Amino acid sequence: MTLAIGDLAPNFQADTTEGRIDFHQWLGDSWGVLFSHPKDFTPVCTTELGAVARLKPEFDRRGVKVIGLSVDPVDDHGRWAADIEETQGAKVNYPLIGDTDLAVSKAWGLLPAAVDGGSAGRTAADNQTVRNVFVIGPDKRIKLILVYPMTTGRNFDEILRVIDSLQLTATHRVATPADWKQGEDVIIAGSVSNDEARTLYPEGWKEPKPYIRIVPQPR
């Protein structure tokens, strides 16, 4: 199964480093980020888990729950977390899902459903497709999918930037332009007529073209 933006995030029950969870119950009414890893004790992923640990207060401030996924057992995750703290200077402060039967990876379209067996004996190269970031909304629907190769570490500042845009555009009828950051001007959504826009933005807007209507970020 291939997931797309707007799809319902597949629910699952799994063991994690913080106990067994039902994913939808764990998420509750929060936004969520699930980011996946092909194997424990891999170098790029080690840096990524450390980066997320350092940025955890920023995710918390936005009301976003973060959870990692790796195909290895939870016990291995615990030993890996010790390495992450030692090498990255940050203690893993969010749950890591164990996926030894590969059920979560298959449900989320990260590994083919036809893959036999479990995680034992599989290499990072076998699991190289398990390198996604999903942002999930409070409605349990997928809002963003990013896919990274094993050789490129993820940019979590960019993921925070996208979350800012997603949260803004979920509550206001606007879109954000290229390279937008919190506090910068935004674009009135194309679904808003000029008559509606005059009500929403009585001070008017900049209009370099009729289809580009620029206003300050709503507060």
Looking at beta carbons, which pairs linking 108-117 to residues 24 or more positions away fall under 8 Å? 108/3, 108/10, 108/34, 108/36, 108/69, 108/132, 108/134, 109/1, 109/2, 109/3, 110/36, 113/1
Q: Using CA of residue 160, residue 165, residue 170, residue 171, what is the dihedral sign?
A: positive
The reply to whether 45 belongs to the active site is: yes
Which one from 9, 14, 34, 45 is the annotated catalytic residue? 45
Say if CB 45 and CB 92 are below 8 A apart: no
| Mean pLDDT, rounded, of the chain | 96
The pLDDT assigned to 123 comes to 86
Distances (CA, A) of 46 to 141, 214, 218: 28, 41, 38
Q: Considering the entire predicted model, what is its pTM?
A: 0.94
Which residues are bridge partners to 212 per DSSP?
Answer: 209
Tell me the per-residue pLDDT of 88-123, one tens digit each, with 9 for 90 and over: 999 999 999 999 999 999 999 999 888 888 888 888
Contact indicator for 90, 81 with CB cutoff of 8 Å: no
Q: Are 2 and 106 contacting, i.e. CB atoms less than 8 angstroms apart? A: no
> Which of the pair, 123 or 210, is modelled with greater confidence?
210
How far lies 64's CA from each of 92, 158, 204, in Å? 16, 15, 33
Instruction: Report the interhelical angle of 43-61 vs 156-171 (nearest 10°).
Output: 30
